[in-house]
């Protein structure tokens, strides 16, 4: 039969090894990386405070999961960061094979932005990779994951889900905060 049997006599078990593929599906490197990025956009905060017999509770839960599309063209569109009081955006044009081109703008500081073009873009298992090329010729790698992000404001709340692109960035100081990730919500 082409199988090998190893016996563990002390435990009375047998392990059969065959040349066939494992039954458990394994993630690709792209899917695993998309899951890591999604996990970095997942958080929960639950605080209750009692003062003079009155209890106040604050609850916030954000869960993010990779958003997989059967047709990569469905990732095409315009995405914008909705936080921080600045307009940051990316526009993607995706082909059926997962290759894409795009444009966008990045913050240099709270009041200065610079534009870029995305080159050598590839989408696989919800993971986006490309090279940012700035107007001065400077290049930088770019990576993100398409996410379904659900925000709940109470333990019983089913939450509101939005689709977008989560990216991990070089730390940047803006508005007194260090920002190392951005969520670009799809707007078109």
With tokens 């894409």, the residue in question is 100
Query: For residue range 155-173, what is the model confidence (pLDDT) as tens digits?
Result: 888 999 999 999 988 777 7
DSSP state of 15: E
Domain ranges of the chain: 30-186
Query: For residue range 21-34, what is the model confidence (pLDDT) as tens digits?
Result: 343 345 679 999 99
The residues near 120 (Cβ < 8 Å, ≥ 6 apart) are: 130, 131
Residue ranges in the chain assigned as alpha helix (H): 29-40
Q: Is the pLDDT of residue 124 over 70?
A: yes
Query: For residue range 44-102, what is the model confidence (pLDDT) as tens digits?
Result: 988 888 888 888 888 899 999 999 999 999 999 999 988 766 778 999 999 999 999 99
Q: What is the CATH number of domain 30-186?
A: 2.40.128
């Amino acid at each position: 039969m082409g199988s090998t049997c190893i016996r563990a006599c002390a435990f009375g078990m047998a392990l059969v090894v065959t040349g066939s593929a494992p039954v458990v599906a394994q993630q690709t490197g792209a899917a695993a990386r998309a899951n890591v990025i999604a996990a970095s956009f997942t958080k929960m905060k639950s605080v209750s405070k009692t003062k003079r017999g009155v209890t106040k509770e604050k609850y916030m839960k954000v869960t993010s999961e990779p958003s997989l599309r059967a047709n990569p063209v469905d990732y095409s569109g315009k995405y914008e960061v909705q936080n921080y009081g600045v307009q940051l955006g990316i526009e993607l044009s995706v082909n059926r094979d997962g290759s894409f081109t795009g444009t966008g703008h990045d913050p240099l500081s709270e009041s200065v932005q610079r534009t870029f073009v995305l080159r050598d873009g590839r989408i696989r298992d919800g993971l986006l990779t490309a090279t940012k090329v700035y107007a001065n010729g400077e290049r930088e790698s770019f990576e993100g994951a398409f996410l379904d992000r659900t925000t709940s404001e109470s333990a019983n709340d089913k939450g509101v889900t939005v689709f977008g692109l989560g990216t991990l960035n070089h730390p940047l100081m803006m508005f007194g905060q260090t920002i190392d990730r951005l969520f670009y919500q799809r707007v078109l």
